[in-house]
Chain A
Amino acid sequence: MSDTTPHLTMQQSAPSATGLDSAKLGMWLFLATEVMLFSAMIAGFLDMRGRSPADAHHVLNIPVTAVNTFVLICSSLTVALSVAAIEQGDQKRLRNFLLLTLLFGGTFLSVQIYEYNVLIGSGELTPWNSLFGAGFFAVTGLHGFHVFIGLIWCVLTIIWTSQGKFSAQNFMRVEIFGLYWHFVDVVWIILFVLIYLV
């Protein structure tokens, strides 16, 4: 008797009636829930900011955060290039671009922690001294947590790459990691403007 159960590789997910890859479909559904989560947080932050003094955000360091935003955009580029590399079956370039992603993502998170240290250390902005502060740390903290999860996921993807688990025909997990990372970048693009610049 032949085995009719499809053999699932890292590329192929469980059978789907839609003809779409189930894992990728699941990731897009997850990202849709994330859109709602972050939107509720942002709406809450904007409401808190509206009840705070108009110059409450003047303690934030725009030049440093602008550079940090650029660093996160660089990490999105390296993730996109890593997908392009494995599409060509180039595992070495995939690993190198993922390592660069780890570097850029780690830098972003380190700068955010430094910013928190400066703000809380000086007492200029803390989660407990103003509504603006509470909203600021809640929203950027939630985003930072997502970056942290992304970094762990990036390390796992690098490990899977070094184990030779991806090829030109088999890279869905890299693509799904990329979707998550780019989404985190999209959220920051919006947060940077709404928190620091507006």
Chain B
Amino acid sequence: MKRVDPNKEALQPHHYPGSRTYLLVFAGLAILTLIEVGVAYITSDIRVPILIILSALKALLVILFFMHLRYDSRWYAFIFFGPLVLVIPLIWISLIR
């Protein structure tokens, strides 16, 4: 059986995005926040779905780029997103009641 180097990941150089990508993500987050605040004052029924989609987009930007889940091992994504199978129905039911 092939022995896995315990420090393989730690010793390998990371390939994380640089400052430019972080600044672009930050700009995206700032713009989405502004849009959210604008949408909050709309009286239409589509307000809530739009706000939820916008916040999910912002959360994904932080998770994928700032938390490096786009660049790291898929195991981390599996561990982190696993609970969402239970969580999303729970939140959804609470929201539509």
Contact = CB atoms under 8 A, between A and B. Distances in A.
B75 A20 contact: yes
B33 A66 contact: yes
Contacts of B93: 43
A84 B33 contact: no
Interface centre among A19, A76, A80 (most CB of B within 10 A): A80
A183 B62 CA distance: 8
A74 B33 CA distance: 12
A87 B14 contact: yes
A62 B68 CA distance: 30
A185 B75 CA distance: 22
A70 B18 CA distance: 21
Contact of B5 (A19, A74, A80): A19
A198 B48 contact: yes
Contact of B19 (A62, A70, A81): A81
A44 B55 CA distance: 19
B66 A182 contact: yes
Interface string A24-61: 11001101100110011011101100100000000000
A21 B51 contact: no
Interface string A164-198: 00000100100100110011011001101110111
Given A83-B16, A185-B62, A197-B40, 4 more contacts: A43-B93, A66-B36, A73-B30, A73-B33
Interface of A: 6, 11-21, 24-25, 28-29, 31-32, 35-36, 39-40, 42-44, 46-47, 50, 62-63, 66, 69-70, 73-74, 76-77, 79-81, 83-84, 87, 169, 172, 175, 178-179, 182-183, 185-186, 189-190, 192-194, 196-198
30 contacts: A6-B6, A12-B10, A16-B6, A20-B75, A25-B76, A25-B79, A35-B83, A36-B83, A39-B86, A39-B91, A46-B91, A47-B94, A47-B97, A63-B37, A70-B33, A74-B26, A76-B26, A76-B66, A80-B22, A80-B25, A84-B22, A178-B67, A182-B63, A185-B66, A189-B62, A190-B55, A192-B36, A193-B55, A194-B95, A197-B36
